[in-house]
Amino acid sequence: MADEFEPRIIAFLCNWCTYTGADLAGTSRIQYPPNIRIIRLMCSGGLDPVYVSKALLEGADGVLIGGCHPGDCHYQSGNYKARRRIAILQSILAQVGFDPDRVWLRWISASEGAYFADTVTQMVSALKAKGPNPLKGQGAI
Amino acid sequence: MIETLLDAPQGTGQAVRMLLRSLLEKKIVDALLLPVRMPGASVAPALVRDPALVDNSAPLAPVMPINAARAVQALTITGHRQKLGVVLRSCEIRALVELTKFQQAKLDDVVIVGVDCLGTYGVEVWHQAPDKQALIDGLLASAGDGNLVPAHGLAFRSACQICEQPVPTGDHVALTVGLLGVEPGTLFLHARDDIAHALDLSASTTPPRRAQAIKSLTDARIAARDLAFASYRTRVDSIQGLLAEFGPCIRCHNCMTNCPICYCRECIFRTPTFEHDSELLYQWAERKGSVRLLPDTLLFHLTRLNHMVTSCVGCGMCTEACPAGIDVGTVFRAVGDKVQALFDYHPGRSLAEAAPVQEFREDELKTLGERPH
């Protein structure tokens, strides 16, 4: 088992919902795989796709974007804007030969610690099934 | 709107120049932005105040050194005092509409004059052509039935070969000079009522062959476009394809500089964000085995796709600007086709439609972000 592929996930989580949800998962001692590296944002709507692209090009196996449920954005509408941007990003990725399902957008509220842990667990297992990011072995790109 | 067919015994080019000159002489506009002959027989957009100098213009020259929407941006972004006429082709008008939506140009007191585009050659091709009038005449001769063929041995710019919108359309266009389906020796105008009144135009017939000529040209271009899209999708069906497509990129950023839609003054690629510390480059080389320099070449293109493919009007200036010969424009058109379809958005079609990145709807993309079942 030592050689099993362990995906590396970069997560961009909004401060008000998903990051707090992740915090709740921790304080509630809910177990989830340690494959995730979290970057806290004030809002999912503030995430420029350049950073998601950069993570993927640098070899991240998956990127998770977490925001408040629709209608619950701390800034009224940031998550709706994020949703459009991620839809655009996923369409572009699919059209440049990159698997768009390596990018997950999930609405996870501050009270959904268990759902956050569950999401990470599912994402890790989905990425294990996909295998490593094909860009990882490319060397200079 | 009125449509009228005028006699142009002096030839189409001269008739268009006289029409444009009358816009200045009749004070319909105070200044005109239009393609003007430059020393050495090149053509570039220029702002003309003196009506006599309109005679030196080349409104039908099949060459497009820049997307002149950028010139309109320069003239209007800080406000303009005068009534400005701008003579543009369809892709330039579409770019101008997009720039206006992003508050990079103002169309108050701007009279948009659209000219049917008969296709354009690259700047180099135009520059080296010995007989430039022959290039114009050749296209005018084939405009009658819409079967536009480039001069022998030459090719249109790749963007023009797949352009299915050669005719300026939309309420924002005050005056259209129609060339497609129009017989030599006549000039077809489609004018807003106020312009028609000021120019003393009265409605007459529409050239009988016009609709058919436009349809025949559009059909041919759509077929060519779909072939180009299919070819792109075959080439870039995996990440290897993408790496090959942009492999020759020298990261000069020319495509961005010449893109009419890429207007950001604070573009992230012009900030220190991607001026990595050399230690970081060594670290990447250590981790990956090697790292391409200059770094972030592919990231640049992916980011540009993300930032502006929704508004790409397909003018192809990026392809012209690429010293490495990458057909950036076709990549953007092919990818943009599907991304724009997500929002049923047509860049440059109407000032009333917000660009996809400017708005959102609560009742769209409902499954994205939700817990999968």
Per-residue pLDDT tens digits for A53-111: 999 999 999 999 999 999 999 999 999 999 999 999 999 999 999 999 999 999 999 99
Q: Which of A71, A105, A141 sits opposite B368 (nearest CB)?
A: A105
Q: pLDDT tens-digit profile of B145-196?
A: 999 999 999 999 999 999 999 999 999 999 999 999 998 889 999 999 999 9
Q: Does the structure's ipTM exceed the value 0.90?
A: yes
Which residues, in sequence order, are CB contacts of B167 under 8 Å at separation 6+?
A: B90, B114, B116, B117, B176, B178, B180, B214
Confidence of residue A2 (pLDDT cuts 50, 70, 90): low
- Cα–Cα distance measured from residue B220 to residue B162, given in angstroms and rounded to the nearest whole number: 9
Q: Which of A53, A97, A138 sits opposite B303 (nearest CB)?
A: A53
Residue-range domain boundaries for chain A: 9-134
Determine contact: A98 vs chain B, CB below 8 A.
yes
Q: pLDDT tens-digit profile of A127-136?
A: 999 999 999 8
Chains A, B: CB contacts within 8 A come to 115
Entry pTM:
0.96
Instruction: Record the tokens describing residue B76, joined without a space.
Output: 């209007």
Query: What is the reported pLDDT for A136?
Result: 86
Quick one: what percent of chain A has pLDDT higher than 70?
97
Instruction: Record the tokens describing residue B193, joined without a space.
Output: 């009522």
Query: What is the reported pLDDT for B81?
Result: 74
Query: What is the reported pLDDT for B109?
Result: 92
- Is a pLDDT exceeding 90 seen at residue A46? yes
CATH class, range A9-134: alpha beta
Among chain A residues, the shortest Cα distance to B358 is held by: A81
Determine contact: A125 vs chain B, CB below 8 A.
no
Residue-range domain boundaries for chain B: 2-225, 238-358
Judging by beta carbons within 10 Å of its beta carbon (0-12, 13-18, 19+), is residue A80 exposed, middle or buried? Answer: buried
- Is a pLDDT exceeding 60 seen at residue A1? no
The series of mean pLDDT values per 10 residues for chain B, 373 residues long, is: 93 96 97 95 95 96 97 91 93 98 95 98 95 94 94 96 97 97 92 96 91 97 98 95 95 96 92 91 90 92 97 98 98 98 98 96 96 83
Query: What sign does the CA torsion over A11, A13, A17, A21 have?
Result: positive
Chain A from 19 to 58: CB within 8 A of any B CB? 48-50, 53-54, 57-58
Collect all residues of chain B within an 8 Å Cβ-Cβ radius of residue A134: 238-239
